[in-house]
Amino acid sequence: MASRKYKYQRRQDSTSAEHCCVPLCEASSKFNSILSFHTFPVDEETRRKWIHNIRRERFNITSHTRVCSRHFKSDDVIEPSTSKGRRLLRKGAAPTLFQWNEYSVAEPRRSGVWQRRDTHLEHDYCSVPEPAAVDNALDQSEDLHKKVEQLMRQVEELSVGQRFSLGRFAASDDDIRFYTRFMTYRHLMTFWKLIEPASHKMIRVTRARATTMRSEAETRGSTWGQSLQPIDEFFLFMVHLSVGPTQRDLSHRFNIHQSTVSRIITTWANFLYTILGSVRIWMSEEEVKAHLPNEFQDYPDTQVVIDCTELRCQTPSSLLLQSEVFSNYKSHCTFKGLIGMAPHGVVTFVSSLYAGSVSDKELFKQSGIVSLLKPGMAIMVDKGFLVDDCVPCKVYRPAFLSKRKQLTADEVKKTQSIARLRVHVERLIRRVKEHKLFDTEIPLSITGSINQLYTVACLLVNYQNGPLVKAWAKD
């Protein structure tokens, strides 16, 4: 019986989380909700069997000593009848699945013949230890156990401090903001709790492919053998999105192979695209009006503020492709997308990316937002969106000169008021581009997943930041 091999992060504060006592197991209850942690049995025979199977020298068992559920066969674990119940173990169950037996049922290896022979010869069965000597030995043993545990905690703290992982930056909100764009560590962990249950069902590389890759790495003599726990994979993805380092840089930071970095990024881009995309972000007219800021009192029926943004991309070698993605506005090859914002600053619409040569009007029609608009609504757009004939609702747009020398006083006032409100959608787009991956020239090698990456970055804005205008937080 095989079990999935994950690495689980160990907490620095051992009093606030349960840990597995099995050697080489790093499971902790902080980030892994699917595991259960079990105390040692009271029955002496079963207890001895547990201690024998775990193979831990100088083992001091306390009321806080736990063994996680992944070391037991599935038949030994009794699932609770209710969602709030606790997992129990079958009577007489003992842990048999460990890293040294590849998480499969196997009998413990016996010591060698000569080792057993030497033990028998050296042991004096006739000698009887003095009681005082026994007490002193026990006291010394307890002191040594305490020192060993203290040293192990120090090693763990040093290891976490040196390893590039989320735990290293948990105490610094500035570092969390830099590497993930989340305002604080608390915001990041709140978002993680939302997606963590679904992350266990994430579609990953098949086991056959992973086995092939490990064998290739061993053949090359590669040292990239470490794997990341799910929360550090998520952290790697956020670093890639927010800071924009190359995959080679990330492989050195996280001490994993570059091909593993590529698979993690693609996996998490597809996963978050599916999870966040399943959440309905388009708001009803009643919801929009309930949160309408006072600044929009002259335009109370505004449902969405719309604008386009362009992402610079690497120039293709094909002249045909160059003509498709070349943007006259940016004088460079780009991908172009449309973003819709509710008046109070929340992303409510994100289109797919299109070639940079597409016009604002054509992109508006192809994006699918027209089907969401109703006659009682109004949209606020820029000058390039000549979409009055495409929508069933009112359009607020800055005035044109239309071959006149100047605008009328009313048109100037209207243009200024619309510009003051439209500036907030540009600030929203700037938040999206604070993810440095989109602030540089996007390589053509990631065009297969660029649409997922862009959509995830837009949707994450609703979770990462506070309100666009502080005064709107009170509305």
Per-residue pLDDT tens for 424-470?
Answer: 999 999 999 999 999 889 998 888 899 999 999 999 999 998 877 76
Neighbours of 445 (CB within 10 A): 11
Give the pLDDT confidence score for residue 193 in this predicted structure. Answer: 94
378 and 445 fall within a common domain: yes
pLDDT tens for each residue of 15-57: 567 888 888 888 887 767 788 888 999 888 998 888 888 888 7
Give the pLDDT confidence score for residue 156 in this predicted structure. Answer: 60
Helices (H) and strands (E) in the chain, counts: 14, 11
Assessment of whether the complete model's pTM goes beyond 0.85: no
88 and 222 fall within a common domain: no
In a domain, 325, yes or no: yes
150 and 187 fall within a common domain: no
In a domain, 121, yes or no: no
Dihedral sign from CA coordinates of 129, 132, 135, 136: negative
Side chain identity, residue 340: G
Q: Which domain holds residue 31?
A: 1-109+136-160
Side chain identity, residue 61: I
pLDDT above 90 (res 352): yes
Query: Which CATH number do you get for residue 448?
Result: 3.30.420.10
45 and 151 fall within a common domain: yes
Give the pLDDT confidence score for residue 120 in this predicted structure. Answer: 46
In 3-state terms, what secondary structure has residue 326? strand
How many domains does one find in the chain? 3
pLDDT above 90 (res 370): yes
425 and 293 fall within a common domain: yes
In a domain, 216, yes or no: yes
| Of the residues 125, 160, 195, the one at which a domain ends | 160
2 and 66 fall within a common domain: yes
291 and 431 fall within a common domain: yes
In a domain, 402, yes or no: yes
In a domain, 129, yes or no: no
pLDDT tens for each residue of 255-286: 999 999 999 999 999 999 999 999 999 999 99
271 and 304 fall within a common domain: no
91 and 156 fall within a common domain: yes
150 and 211 fall within a common domain: no
419 and 289 fall within a common domain: yes
Q: What's the chain's length in residues?
A: 475
- Angle of helix 450-464 versus helix 258-277 axis, rounded to 10: 60
Provide the pairing of β-strand 88-89 with 302-312: unpaired
In a domain, 463, yes or no: yes
Decide if 429 contacts 339 (C-beta within 8 A): yes
With residue 347 as reference, give the H or E element that holds it: strand 347-350
Cβ-Cβ contacts under 8 Å for 280 (sequence gap 6 or more): none
In a domain, 115, yes or no: no
In a domain, 126, yes or no: no
262 and 298 fall within a common domain: no
